[in-house]
Amino acid sequence: MRASLMPLHDHKGGLMIAVKATLMRDLTLMLRRRGEMLNPLVFFALVITLFPIAISPDPELLAVIAPGLLWVAALLAALLSLDSLFRSDYDDGSLEQLLLAPQPLAALGLAKVAVHWLLTGLPLALMAPLLGIMLALPAGSYAVLALSLALGTASLSLIGAIGAALTVGLARGGVLLSLLVLPLYIPVLIFGAGAVQAAIMGDGVSAHLAILGALLAASLMLAPWAIAASLRISING
Amino acid sequence: MSLCLQARQLACERDDRWLFEGLDLDIRSGEIVRIEGPNGSGKTTLLKILSGQHSDYQGELFWNGVAMSDTREHFLANLLYLGHAPGIKSGLSPLENLAWYQALSGESGNEAQRLEALESVGLAGFEDVPSGQLSAGQQRRVALARLRLTPRALWVLDEPFTAIDRDGVAALERQLVAHAQAGGCVLVTTHHELTASSLLRRIALG
């Protein structure tokens, strides 16, 4: 018997469908695991609560260090949640399926990072002004704090995802992830905390925010490719 | 167009040990190729190399006569790979899992297709149960529903019979034969004895 031939098809596109479905899937998964989603927020609140207790409740002293404290704590909270970005996909085998999809991996990775920022970075930015009150952050700098964090955490998610992709194959990649990623966070931290500092001093904040925006644009351009390459390296090992 | 996956002088080394050397393969339409060998003989590694996941090998791969690296997109658009792990998200229902896989291949599909695929693998009534509550065999069946849902010419299946009950094994075996008869191609590793047929070819490793 001669077997009939099954038609082979060319890659038909459908990138937007795949990206949208990945966004929806990750959003649904995260919203069903609310505990995990709340962890970075609770961590952020608790760390900020510790400072007035440990240093001094003196509002004048706290106001000086508040921008730096808020930024460092938010940065660590964002870092804390990064380890799980690709971990569960790696464990249940859907990551290898993601790599075998006939779609550019960079775009699918970007969708996953976008969900991470929406459910971690953005809530952290919205919560920060509230914690600013606790640290007696001077009036007039609250909006800048939220805005700088919203811009900055997007870069943090993108850069951190490269580290998360590189360490996803390791059993205890958490510490290594911090070592890899924290040095790369320094520029974002400098200009993020600087923006709030400038707002308190009454200087113009647009320069700082513009640089944060530039950092975000650069990471948006470069990070997706680095994430895709890192995922391939992790799966290959 | 008929499909043709070729390997020339394929060799792979793991921890100073050659899993296989000088392997020449020609896999064509209408074949079921079973890779055999004891545990640790490199069956999964070979499947991963042939499905384009591992790049750590020597030798060359050709898809329809073109070097794999030049035609990767076309190859992936015709490949369906099911690995050791079923790739099913425990937090999503079987329907949601299938919807994502369908979208990954670039088509939005519709719910009726997905319901039908689930019914064909015996999961009618479990469509909306979180997959984490399903048994290992049922989760495997959700993954197998993709065989029906996304028509692809080349199936690469790593131990697809794991955790499947006897009736399910028979049904899956029939499905593999039907796929080969329709001009598709199946590459499979399994410790389960497949019924001998003229379509079946064996490759022994180790």
Distance CA A10, CA B73 (A): 8
The pLDDT, as a whole number, for residue B4 is 86
Distance CA A224, CA A47 (A): 31
The pLDDT, as a whole number, for residue A3 is 43
- CA B161 to chain A, closest CA, distance in angstroms equals 17
Bridge pairing between strands B17-28 and B4-14: antiparallel
A229 to chain B: which residues are within 8 Å by CB?
Answer: none
- Encode pLDDT of B38-63 as tens digits: 888 889 999 999 998 888 889 999 99
Question: With a CB-CB cutoff of 8 Å, which residues 90-109 of chain B face chain A?
Answer: 90-92, 96, 99-101, 103-108
CB-based contact, B78 to chain A, within 8 Å: yes
Question: With a CB-CB cutoff of 8 Å, which residues 22-51 of chain A face chain B?
Answer: 22, 25, 28-29, 32-33
Question: With a CB-CB cutoff of 8 Å, which residues 168-227 of chain A face chain B?
Answer: none
Question: With a CB-CB cutoff of 8 Å, which residues 145-204 of chain B face chain A?
Answer: 153, 180-184, 198-199
Q: What is the mean pLDDT of residues A75-90?
A: 93
Confidence of residue B3 (pLDDT cuts 50, 70, 90): confident
Per the prediction, chain A carries an average pLDDT of 92
Tokens representing B174?
A: 């029939």
Provide the edge-to-edge strand list for the sheet that holds B17-28: B17-28, B4-14, B58-63, B66-67
- Whether the predicted pLDDT of B136 surpasses 90: yes
Name the closest residue on chain B to residue A5, using Cα atoms: B183
Find the CB nearest B104 among A10, A93, A101. Answer: A101
Bridge pairing between strands B58-63 and B66-67: antiparallel
The pLDDT, as a whole number, for residue A51 is 93
Per the prediction, chain B carries an average pLDDT of 90
Q: What is the mean pLDDT of residues B72-99?
A: 93
B32 to chain A: which residues are within 8 Å by CB?
Answer: none
Distance CA B32, CA B156 (A): 10
A6 to chain B: which residues are within 8 Å by CB?
Answer: 3, 29, 153, 182-184
Test A29 with B182 for CB contact under 8 angstroms: no
Give the global pTM. Answer: 0.92
Test B89 with A32 for CB contact under 8 angstroms: no
- Encode pLDDT of B13-28 as tens digits: 888 888 888 899 999 8
Test B29 with A28 for CB contact under 8 angstroms: no
- CA B195 to chain A, closest CA, distance in angstroms equals 18
* List of E strands, chain B: 4-14, 17-28, 31-36, 58-63, 66-67, 79-82, 154-158, 185-189, 200-204
The pLDDT, as a whole number, for residue B106 is 85
A17 to chain B: which residues are within 8 Å by CB?
Answer: 103, 106-108
A5 to chain B: which residues are within 8 Å by CB?
Answer: 1-2, 29, 183
- Encode pLDDT of A4-60 as tens digits: 556 777 766 789 999 999 999 999 999 998 888 899 999 999 999 999 999 989 999
- Which amino acid, one-letter code, is at A3? A
A115 to chain B: which residues are within 8 Å by CB?
Answer: none
Question: With a CB-CB cutoff of 8 Å, which residues 120-149 of chain B face chain A?
Answer: none
The pLDDT, as a whole number, for residue B1 is 56
- CB contacts < 8 A (A, B): 130
A13 to chain B: which residues are within 8 Å by CB?
Answer: 106
Interface probe for B, chosen from A6, A12, A95 (most Cβ of B below 10 Å), is A6
CB-based contact, B33 to chain A, within 8 Å: no
B84 to chain A: which residues are within 8 Å by CB?
Answer: 93
Find the CB nearest B2 among A5, A28, A103. Answer: A5
| Maximum Cα interatomic distance, chain B, rounded to a whole number of Å | 51
Bridge pairing between strands B185-189 and B154-158: parallel
Test B91 with A32 for CB contact under 8 angstroms: yes
Distance CA A93, CA B84 (A): 8
Find the CB nearest B53 among A21, A92, A100. Answer: A100
